[in-house]
Amino acid sequence: MGTEARVEIWEENPKKAARLIKQVIEEMERINQLMSPYISSSELSKLNKSAAKRPIKISKELFSLLKTSQEFSGLSHGAFDITFASVGYQYDYREGKSPSKDFIDKNKSLINYELIKLNKKKSTVTFLKPGVKIDLGGIAKGHAVDQAINMLLQEGVEHAFVQAGGDSRLIGDKKGRLWNIGIRHPRKEGEVITQVPLENVAISTSGDYERFYIKNGERVHHIIDPRTGKSSSKSISVTIIADSSTKADALSTTVFVLGFEKGLALIESIPGVSAIVIDNQGKFHYTKDLNSY
Ligand code: AMP
Ligand code: MG
């Protein structure tokens, strides 16, 4: 999925530690093969190739993540929408390329999660219009981290840190101290803007500095507002703390698109979830539970 992963385990037995780290790497690679848009044999690529023509049978795992994605779309009234890719696939941030205004106008209506039809009994997916495409970049890394953490929990690990891109999750504390999770400085490469001491939770950051290019002074980046088909400009960085990485990942992308007012209102309505938002003026906003920090 085009990102870097990291795993840290506290384990007395070095052989077991080496085996577990290998298993985490294999699990991440397995999910990459399933869900990457860059791999033409991935289940996700197969959907984008054929699901508008006929129902495509997919694995329970992908089906379940699509269903979860739909739930976040419903919850956010479409701010989180994996069909953003119907327009989004035309952006190439490395090459500095965006789709034309004409292309966006013609294809914007294909950004609509209701065009994905899931059949649970048959485990199939159909796209209701030609041209619909999906991308799980806003949620799959969180899923991969959860999968790795669940495996480590089953193996009895009591202290661990797993990270994929901006998505991290912790098991326990760091042997008697809290884990200090840094939030990247959105405008200074290689620096952190703040650190959050945590244990036993997931934390995800979405930022406009991850994949972007600048043209005529305007930042064109990878988080797309489904209503416009263009980069969302309300936030520059959003961090979510939650009990699962999948949830934190989906919600960080969601709140980024919603902006701090609507975004924080949404997070306040979900028990056990916290948010730190840096708006497009560089101002910090927190959920009420974090205001004392
Ligand atoms: P994250 O770093 O978790 O915010 O994920 C950003 C990625 O989410 C992008 O690179 C896209 O693959 C995907 N994405 C962009 N816009 C949206 C959106 N509105 N809804 C869901 N996924 C999105
Ligand atoms: Mg995300």
- The domain limits of the chain are 172-290
Task: Specify the pLDDT at position 2.
Answer: 81
C-alpha 244/C-alpha 272 separation (Å) is: 10
d(CA 222, ligand 1 centre) in Å:
7
Query: What pLDDT score does 293 carry?
Result: 56
Q: Quote the tokens at residue 98.
A: 């965006």
Query: What type of residue is 177?
Result: R
Which amino acid residue places its CA nearest to atom 3 of ligand 1? 138
- pLDDT, position 191: 97
135 lines ligand 1 (CB under 6 A): yes
Do residues 222 and 210 make contact, with C-beta atoms less than 8 angstroms apart?
A: yes
Full pLDDT tens readout for the chain, 293 residues? 788 999 999 999 999 999 999 999 999 999 999 999 999 999 999 999 999 999 999 999 999 999 999 999 999 999 999 999 999 999 999 999 999 999 999 999 999 999 999 999 999 999 999 999 999 999 999 999 999 999 999 999 999 999 999 999 999 999 999 999 999 999 999 999 999 999 999 999 999 999 999 998 999 999 999 999 999 999 999 999 999 999 999 999 999 999 999 999 999 999 999 999 999 999 999 999 998 65
Pocket test for ligand 1, best of 44, 80, 84, 235 (most atoms within 8 A of CB): 84
Residue-level length of the chain: 293
| The pLDDT of residue 1 | 79
253 CA to centre of ligand 1 in angstroms: 6
- 226 C-beta closer than 6 A to ligand 1: yes
Residue 77: predicted pLDDT: 98
d(CA 162, CA 170): 7
Residues 204 and 169: their CA atoms lie apart, in Å, by 8
Residue 57 host element (H or E):
strand 56-57
> Which one of 3.10.520.10, 1.10.3720.10, 3.40.190.10, 3.20.20.70 gives the CATH number of domain 172-290?
3.10.520.10
Cα–Cα distance measured from residue 48 to residue 132, given in angstroms and rounded to the nearest whole number:
7
Q: How far is the CA of 218 from the centre of ligand 1 (A)?
A: 19
Residue nearest to atom 12 of ligand 1 (CA): 137
pLDDT at 43: 98
Other CB atoms closer than 10 Å to residue 121's CB: what's the count?
A: 5
**pLDDT reported for residue 292:** 62
What distance in Å separates the CA atoms of residue 240 and residue 141, rounded to the nearest whole number?
14
Say if ligand 1 is within 6 A of residue 235 CB. no
